[in-house]
Amino acid sequence: MKISKIELVVIKMPLVHFFETSFGRTYERRIILARVEAADGAEGWGECTAGETPSYCEEWTESCWAVLKEILSPMILNKEIESAAQVWDLMKKIRGNRMAKSTLETAIWDLETKQLNVPLWRHLGGVNAQIDCGVSIGIQDSVEQLFEEIQTELDAGYKRIKIKIAPHWDYEVLQRVRERFGDILLMGDANSAYSLNDVDLFKRMDEFGLMMFEQPLAHDDVFDHAKLQREIRTPVCLDESIHSAEDARKAIETGACKIINVKLGRVGGHAEAKRVEQTARENSIPVWCGGMLESGIGRAHNIAMSTLKGFTLPGDVSASKRYWHEDIIEPPVEVTERGTIIAPEKAGIGFDVRRERIDKLTVRKIEI
């Protein structure tokens, strides 16, 4: 295939409810979308999962915009592309910038599977036609508010609850959640808010029987996580620290984690996500799909990835309505009362992209 046109847009969408992590609150998303078009007129859509500031990682909307426009798009445009699986190699000379790369790479997977008229998830090698869903609940203004959120999500059928933790919002909050909700599947995501000085705190939190602590220590660390994991029973799950299958191998070998969160943007797209999943599976390390407050396009790609065999734990892929009053895909992502999402049988990402809605939300665009 040959990509004859790349459209990049930035859309602005307010969140239904602010989302607070250990690095701050997000009220409104500014999301880059890529639309790739082949010579035969077929199109594919990808979403950039970078945040509005370089807080979760070094990439952010503006760095991705520059890299996509100046560097990556020219590497793809009008090149003979054997398959979507090969797009990663075309961008190999560029270091890092995985979220920017993933934007185009995932769009080309959508395009390829539309040309082949097969669902993306099957083409990726997915085996589960239905995926298990959990939710990620941000830091709230009060524990009562958190209780309300948790009750709402349990009532909706979600299978596991992840709460964000930070030094002012950890031991006592988890203790009260356990008291109130009993033995629900519960976990805490610290987004790197702690250091090895907090080992005793983590040891004390072992008593809550959490499924895992997600990224307790530094965003670029593996070594100290291995030290922490040796001290506690609760499994450590790495998110920020894993950018590739090689990172996964090293983290597993050093004993830095027992579980891995896979995010398409963080690893650079579907091809690398598949390699991370394979590495983890071969080492009996379960993986699950993380989220980045995506619009429907990113959500659809996450659903496809989550159908791979190694994704044995509920992910952070949840219904569109938890984040958006009105999504940019049709139908929006919906979750069954059993807390699952059914992978669509339509070609490509399997959802229709609402172009008119995207145009309405667009604050910047360029055609390459």
Q: Which residues bind ligand OSB (CB under 6 A)?
A: 21, 56, 136, 189, 191, 239, 290-293, 316, 318
Structure tokens at 73: 């798009």
Hey, which residues does 330 pair with through a beta bridge? 352
Q: In angstroms, what is the minimal distance from the CB of 45 to ligand OSB?
A: 18
* Closest residue to Mg ion: CB criterion: 239
Q: In angstroms, what is the minimal distance from the CB of 19 to ligand OSB?
A: 6
CB of 289 within 8 A of CB of 133?
Answer: no
Determine the Cα–Cα distance for residues 300 and 317; give it in Å rounded to an integer: 9
Q: In angstroms, what is the minimal distance from the CB of 269 to ligand OSB?
A: 18
Q: Which is nearer to ligand OSB, 113 or 318 (CB)?
A: 318
Q: In angstroms, what is the minimal distance from the CB of 85 to Mg ion?
A: 27
b (16+ CB within 10 A) / e for 95-129: eebbbbbbbbbbbbbbbbbbbbeebbbbbbebeee
Q: Which does 318 bind (CB under 5 to 8 A by kind): Mg ion, ligand OSB, none?
A: ligand OSB
* 239 sits near Mg ion (criterion: CB under 5 A): yes
Query: What are the two backbone dihedrals, phi and then psi, of residue 356, each rounded to the nearest 5 degrees?
Result: -65, -35
Q: Which does 293 bind (CB under 5 to 8 A by kind): Mg ion, ligand OSB, none?
A: ligand OSB
Beta-strand pair 160-164/134-137: parallel
Taking each helix axis from N to C end, the angle separating 98-115 and 270-282, rounded to the nearest 10 degrees, works out to 100
Q: Which does 344 bind (CB under 5 to 8 A by kind): Mg ion, ligand OSB, none?
A: none
**Interface residues for Mg ion in 299-358 (CB under 5 A)?**
none
Binding residues for Mg ion, how many (CB under 5 A)?
3
* 189 sits near Mg ion (criterion: CB under 5 A): yes
Determine the Cα–Cα distance for residues 5 and 8; give it in Å rounded to an integer: 10
Q: Which does 97 bind (CB under 5 to 8 A by kind): Mg ion, ligand OSB, none?
A: none
Q: Annotated catalytic sites, by residue?
A: 164, 263
Q: In angstroms, what is the minimal distance from the CB of 287 to ligand OSB?
A: 13
Determine the Cα–Cα distance for residues 216 and 228; give it in Å rounded to an integer: 9
A 10 A CB-CB count for 155 gives 9
Q: Which is nearer to ligand OSB, 114 or 266 (CB)?
A: 266
CB of 280 within 8 A of CB of 286?
Answer: yes
Determine the Cα–Cα distance for residues 357 and 366; give it in Å rounded to an integer: 17
331 prior amide bond cis, ω within 30: yes
Q: In angstroms, what is the minimal distance from the CB of 275 to Mg ion?
A: 20
Q: Which does 61 bind (CB under 5 to 8 A by kind): ligand OSB, Mg ion, none?
A: none
Nearest residue to 357 (alpha-carbon basis) of 338, 333, 337, 332: 332
Q: Which is nearer to ligand OSB, 37 or 149 (CB)?
A: 149
Determine the Cα–Cα distance for residues 83 and 74; give it in Å rounded to an integer: 17
Q: Which is nearer to ligand OSB, 279 or 318 (CB)?
A: 318
* Closest residue to ligand OSB: CB criterion: 291
Which one of 62-70, 189-197, 202-210, 304-312 is the stretch in contact with Mg ion (CB under 5 A)?
Answer: 189-197
Structure tokens at 334: 């919906």
Q: Which does 56 bind (CB under 5 to 8 A by kind): ligand OSB, Mg ion, none?
A: ligand OSB
Q: Which is nearer to Mg ion, 132 or 316 (CB)?
A: 316
Q: In angstroms, what is the minimal distance from the CB of 25 to ligand OSB?
A: 11
**Interface residues for Mg ion in 201-220 (CB under 5 A)?**
214
DSSP 48-63: ---BSSTTSSS-BHHH
Q: Which does 20 bind (CB under 5 to 8 A by kind): Mg ion, ligand OSB, none?
A: none
Q: Which is nearer to ligand OSB, 114 or 164 (CB)?
A: 164
Task: Based on DSSP, count helices (H) and strands (E) in the chain, helices before strands.
Answer: 14, 15
Q: Which is nearer to ligand OSB, 7 or 240 (CB)?
A: 240
Residues found near Mg ion in the complex (CB under 5 A): 189, 214, 239
